[in-house]
Structure 1
Amino acid sequence: MKGFTFILLLSFNCFSTFGQQNNKITIGTIDTVQSNILNENRGVWVYVPDNKNDGVKQRYPVIYVLDGNALFSSVVALVQQFGETDWNWILPKMIVVGIPSTNRRRDLTPYHVEADPPFFNKEGGKPTGGGRNFVSFLQNELIPHIDSLYPTQPYKILIGHSFGGLAAMNILVNHTSLFNSFICIDPSMWWDHLRFLQATKKALTRERLSGKSLYVSLSGRINGDIDTGEVRKDTLSDMGIHFRGILELNDFLKGQLQNGLRYGFKFYKNDNHMSLPFITEHDGLRFIFKDYLFTLSDKEESDSTFNVAEKLKNHFQKVSQMLGYTMVPPVDMVSEYGSSFIGQKQYYKARQLFKLNIENFPNTYIVYNGYGDYLAAIGDKTQAAEYFKKALLLKENPESRKKLKELVK
């Protein structure tokens, strides 16, 4: 059941889309799942986009974030900045589910390893190997719980750092259908003296991964003592095996184009293991959604006869194929373009866009408000008033009320 509100107090300027409650700024809620598989209550942090301004009931892809206590807020910030601010539609609006760790060495490791020096000794190896139960928890308890309570679409992304990256790689290989895309940040491919890496390579040779995306990052330095430019020759240092494992994985995946996996990799020379997550989250999400962004050329922008609405429809048909479900052009995107073309007196473009919005969202007040703006701009005050009235029938709002009053006075 839903728990108490997760509060983030900020001393700097914040996104206007953050919820406000009791003079505090909230970015989500803490929900609780009673896990019979793990035999414990698991708290999860959930962010859902705010669509109060457009009034459209929407469903969203979901990003699941391992080590949510450390990474949740940064992923939410990226989703808001690149998917919800005006004229910034690099990413779709998305739900973010942060999964805080209670015992990460237990939950995030694929199988038990007695000891794996230099990373841990026999004592440190005792809790390892709970990955099978943790994946079962995700598949059979957490994801169904989220789908039952929140407005989700079937497209799912998994983000993991270090052991979390190891867990994400294990899920890609052994539970492929559970997620659509994966971001593995400095993953612990050294696991079990690189034996997990070898098993991963064999599995990826067999698997057909068409429609899956994977982005992997490698930090340039760990603890300030190893430069990855020398890592391929490094067989002596404690951390050399960490770098070599990821580089070997990258070498292998670059040669596996036949398995259908869409793969991206970057070496971040100036970042260490702990500074790497935020920049990788940014680059990984932009890699996954590279083809989501809609753009117009200068010629299309200036040509008053160009049918922007038709290009938008065609673009989001391709986006729908990528995501695996039907996604129409977002109402706020179409409204912003329409209003912009009214300002430029390109009324044909504006009319086509607002008509597209009415076609896709006939029960939403904002689309009639927009078409009313178009009609008022071309001087058809009678019809404009009718559309503002339609908007008000669907939802009383001060914007449409003010415009209607100005037309009939």
Structure 2
Amino acid sequence: MKQLLLLWLCILTTLTRAQTVKNNTIVIGRVDSVTSSVLNEKRKLWVYVPAGANDPTYAQQRYPVLYVLDGDAHFASVMGMVQQLSQVNGNTVLPEMIVVGIPNTNRTRDLTPTHVTSAPGLPAEALKSSGGGENFTAFLEKELIPYVDAHYPTVPHRTLVGHSFGGLLVMNTLLHHPALFDNYVALDPSMWWDGQKLLREAPGLLAQPGLAGRALFVGIANTMPTGFDTVQVRRDTSSATDFMRSKLSLRDELARHSGNGLRVRSKYYPNDTHGSVPLPATYDALRFLFQAYAPSPAALYDLSEPGSKIQPAAFVEAHYQRVSAAMGYPVLPPEPMVNSLAYYLLQSNQAAHALAMFQLNARNYPTSFNVHDSLGDYYSAQKQPALAIAAYTKALQLKDTPDTRQKLSKLRAKK
């Protein structure tokens, strides 16, 4: 059992699927589009789908969806983090996810919840169309999310990530439409907008019952003038500290409503600017939002101790039951991971543990060709030809492959 810790940490490295390479170009996603009657325009989408969605060896997987505002700026970095933490080096820190980047057409219009005629640093021309945030949220709810759910293998678990004006829209969506997403990530949100109108509304909205079960991460960059600290900013009333003060006030308000059922974490990044904060804050947000997803290092250590009485299959099954409770929908242990663990245990002369793993997959993925083919391999290795023949026959009923047919023919020839 000692090697099982290393196996859990490393075996998925062999399952990591490289990004598609076409014509010497590395492809990390595809461009899709939705014709919106709400916005009266065609909106492009940048979409990443885990490669396992199209792997015919295993039962089709379905995935949570992470929506990224300002997709033209943040899609690549967010997608890279999701892939790194859910696949690369055997990581299961996050679930594999579909990432949908939403590029802008009129950023000020779509990401601000109220109309203003003047705002620091923004030209009057850009402000003429401001205040379309509620309309954009209607686009998300009535058109974009239904389109993604209809065309991609999704599960009912959604995360919204936004920076700056995007962070403002994230907060407006959480406070006014909390049921639309499960998780909200507001990166340096522009809570100063419209005289801090949304911030002033927050106390009443944070008391609503609809926030229970949701999660929010707020990342705060250092946007203070020289000579100020966070204590001085809170006391200041000048326009120079308005942005920083509004973010700190949001943090304070969230703390005052800690009993509303909203799971919250906010973090200040003293060494990051408004422009640099999205990368570290998104990483921290993902770790916070999905902290229940990966087994703890201590649990893995206990599992790997010599003489451990922990049953690998029971451990995996119980862990994903806890994950299901945290995610709010049934999360099955990934078929490829369980399959690889089972083969490792079989090759390590731990037949009983291996069978328990193969049977776990059979219960969870009864219509998978691979599940029954693998069971056939187990029974063949254990010199149980009748059971192996039955398993291979079932596999071939689901998918006819020359390799499995050859294994079945060899067994029948020996009878």
TM-score after normalising by structure 2: 0.85
Measured at CA, do residues 228 and 25 of structure 1 come closer, stay the same or move farther in structure 2, by a change above 3 Å?
A: farther
Where does residue 178 of structure 2 map in the other structure?
A: 176
Describe the SS at the equivalent of 2:374: helix
Unaligned runs of 5+ in 2: 1-15
The structural deviation recorded for 1:242 is 1.3
Native 8 Å contact 2:67 2:99 kept in 1 = yes
Distance 1:406 1:285 in 2: 49
Give 2:46's aligned residue. 45
Q: More displaced, 185-194 or 292-301?
A: 292-301
Helix, strand or coil: the match of 2:122? coil
Q: Is the 8 A contact 2:223 2:244 kept in 1?
A: no
The one-letter code sitting in structure 2 at the alignment partner of 1:83 is: S
Deviation at 1:19, TM superposition (A): 2.1
Which secondary structure does the structure 1 equivalent of 2:96 belong to?
coil
**1:386-397 alignment to 2 at 5 Å?**
387=391, 390-391=394-395, 394-395=398-399
Q: Does the alignment pair 1:317 with 2:321? A: yes
Q: Is the 8 A contact 1:44 1:97 kept in 2?
A: yes
Three-state SS of the structure 2 residue aligned to 1:275 is coil
Provide closer, same or farther for how the CA distance between residues 375 and 225 of structure 1 changes in structure 2, counting only shifts above 3 A.
Answer: farther
Question: In 2, Cα distance between the equivalents of 1:227 and 1:338?
Answer: 58
Conserved? CA contact 1:189–1:242, under 8 Å: yes
Q: Which residue of 1 aligns with 2:25?
A: 24
66-75 vs 315-324, which moves further: 315-324
Q: Tell me the alpha carbon deviations over residues 91-145 of structure 1, each in whole angstroms, 9 at most, x when there is no partner.
A: 111111110011111100001012123x335444222101111111111111111
| Larger displacement relative to structure 2 (257-266 or 236-245) | 236-245
Q: Is the 8 A contact 1:166 1:184 kept in 2?
A: yes
Q: 1:92 aligns with which of 92, 95, 108?
A: 95
> Distance between the aligned counterparts of 1:16 and 1:333, measured in 2?
13
**What CA deviation, in whole Å up to 9, does each residue of 1:255-304 have, x standing for no partner?**
21211000011112222211211222211111111111135443333446
Match of 1:130 among 123, 129, 132: 132
Alignment partner, residue 350 of structure 2:
346
- Aligned length, in residue pairs: 393
Name the residue aligned to 2:67. Answer: 64
Q: Distance in 1 between matches of 2:385 and 2:318?
A: 33
- Correspondent of 1:326 among 316, 326, 330: 330
Following superposition, the deviation at residue 369 of structure 1 comes to 3.9
Map of 2:115 onto structure 1? 112
Would the aligned equivalents of 1:18 and 1:25 in 2 still touch at CA under 8 Å? Answer: yes
TM-score scaled by structure 1? Answer: 0.86
Give the structure 2 partner of residue 3 of structure 1.
none
Letter in structure 1 aligned against 2:328: G
Work out whether residues 17 and 51 of structure 2, in 8 Å CA contact, stay in contact via their aligned partners in 1. no
Ranges in structure 1 where 5+ consecutive residues have no aligned partner: 1-14
Secondary structure, counterpart of 1:62 in structure 2: strand
Paired with 1:313 and 1:232, the residues of 2 have a C-alpha distance of 50
Q: 3-state DSSP class of the match of 1:272?
A: coil
What secondary structure does 1:258 align onto? coil
2:206 corresponds to 1:204: yes
Q: 2:162 aligns with which of 136, 160, 176?
A: 160
**CA contact 2:216–2:264 (8 Å) conserved in 1:** yes
Mapped to 2, the partners of 1:202 and 1:129 lie a distance apart of 21
**Contact kept? 1:180, 1:213, Cα under 8 Å:** yes
CA distance in 1, matches of 2:64, 2:151: 14
Distance 1:403 1:34, change over 3 A: same
Task: Give CA deviations for 1:168-214 in whole Å, capped at 9, x if unaligned.
Answer: 00000001111111011111111112222111232113344111000
Q: 1:283 to 1:260 in 2, by over 3 A?
A: same
Cα drift, residue 390 of structure 1: 4.7
- 1:227/1:286 CA distance change after superposition, 3 Å: farther
**What residue is the counterpart of 2:289 in the other structure?**
288
Paired residue for 2:145?
143
Are 1:304 and 1:349, in contact at CA under 8 Å, matched by a contact in 2? no
Alpha-carbon separation, structure 2, partners of 1:228 and 1:387: 68
Q: 1:308 to 1:89 in 2, by over 3 A?
A: same
What are the Cα deviations for residues 239-260 of structure 1, in whole angstroms up to 9, with x where unaligned? Answer: 5221111111111212212110
How far has the Cα of 1:225 moved from its partner?
A: 5.3
Range moving further from structure 2, 227-236 or 254-263: 227-236
Q: Which range moves more in the overlay, 67-76 or 300-309?
A: 300-309
What CA distance in whole angstroms lies between the structure 1 residues aligned with 2:397 and 2:29?
31
Read off the aligned partner of 1:322 and give its amino acid letter. A
Report deviation, 1:388.
Answer: 5.1
Does structure 2 retain, via aligned residues, the 8 Å contact 1:221–1:227? no
Structure 1, 165-174 or 293-302: larger mean CA deviation:
293-302
Q: What's the RMSD between the two structures over aligned residues?
A: 2.8
Q: Work out the percentage of aligned pairs sharing the same amino acid.
A: 40
CA contact (8 A) 2:113 2:172 kept: yes
Distance between the aligned counterparts of 1:259 and 1:73, measured in 2? 34
- Which residue identity does 1:147 align to in structure 2? D
Task: Provide the residue aligned with 1:9 in structure 2.
Answer: none
CA gap 1:354/1:225 in 2 versus in 1, 3 angstroms: farther
Residue 310 of structure 1: how far off its partner (Å): 2.2
